[in-house]
Copies of this chain bind each other. A is one copy, B any other.
Amino acid sequence: MELALRWAEIAALVAFAVSGYLEAERRGMDPIGHFALAFVAAFGGGTLRDVLIDRRPLFWIEHHEWVVAVFALSLLLPWLARDRVRPWVERVVPWPDALGLGLFAATGTTLSIDAGLPPFVAVMMGVITATFGGVIVDVLCNEVPRIFRRTELNATCAFACGWTVVGLVAIDAPRPLSIAAGAALGFGLRMLAMRRGWRLPALGPDEA
């Protein structure tokens, strides 16, 4: 189980980095921008969580091989993401991306519970871990963060996933099991929402 979780984490980090990379490409940034956005997309959420709960050293400072890997990836991708491979990349990425949403929400919540945070805040930290990399990328790209507009249940999935983990930890389920269950729920819900185009309603002035 733990090995499966580790592989899932790697796949998810790569997917997050690739989505940051594609964002930089869409805006015609230079290689610095590509690396920066890939990095922020992959590690931004976890970094914000760690700064908020004062957990050090940061994940990517402890495991610096990851930073080098993202750097290498951002140098390689111009070749990998060309012409023929690109449609394939864009079709495959949503899968590990949705996996990452569930997985990081689950691990972020678990970490926060273990740091002694109360349940609601722990779930929020899970949501931050899973979604704030994307928020920071959007801010850097000068856009209103997508998860605050009408995404396909992005933060909502992370929220549901976090509460699942809280519930399982409360009944003393083993950590890897509760993480896997939470991640699976988040992943399934997110894929379903994307397939069906489910969204939260906007609460705009038109409706008030």
A118 CB to closest chain B CB (Å) equals: 4
Question: A-side interface residues toward B, CB under 8 Å?
Answer: 24-34, 36-37, 47, 51-54, 56-58, 60-61, 64, 67-68, 71, 78, 81-83, 86, 117-118, 120-121, 124, 135, 139-145, 147-151, 154-156, 199-206, 208
- Closest Cβ neighbor of A52 among chain B residues: B58
User: Once bound together, how far apart are the Cα atoms of A135 and B40, in whole Å?
Assistant: 13
Across chains A and B, which 5 residue pairs bring their CB atoms closest together, nearest first? A33-B148, A28-B204, A30-B200, A64-B118, A32-B155
Quick check: A26 and B205 within 8 Å, CB to CB?
Answer: yes
Pair A148/B53 contact, Cβ less than 8 Å: no
Q: How many copies does the complex hold?
A: 3
18 residue pairs of the A-B complex, CB under 8 angstroms, read A25-B205, A28-B204, A29-B149, A30-B148, A30-B151, A31-B201, A32-B156, A36-B148, A51-B52, A52-B58, A53-B61, A61-B117, A64-B120, A82-B208, A83-B208, A135-B140, A142-B142, A142-B143
Q: How far is the CB of A178 from chain B (nearest CB, A)?
A: 21
Interfacial chain B residues near A135, Cβ < 8 Å: 140
Nearest-neighbor residue (CB-CB) of A140 within chain B: B145
Give chain B residues whose Cβ lies under 8 Å from the Cβ of A64: 117-118, 120-121
**B148, A29: Cβ atoms closer than 8 Å:** yes
* A30 to B151 Cα, complex, angstroms: 9
Distance A82 CA – B205 CA, assembled complex (angstroms): 10
Task: Tell which of A141, A148, A200 has the most Cβ of chain B within 10 Å.
Answer: A148
Q: Please tell me if the beta carbons of B121 and A204 are within 8 angstroms of each other in the complex.
A: no
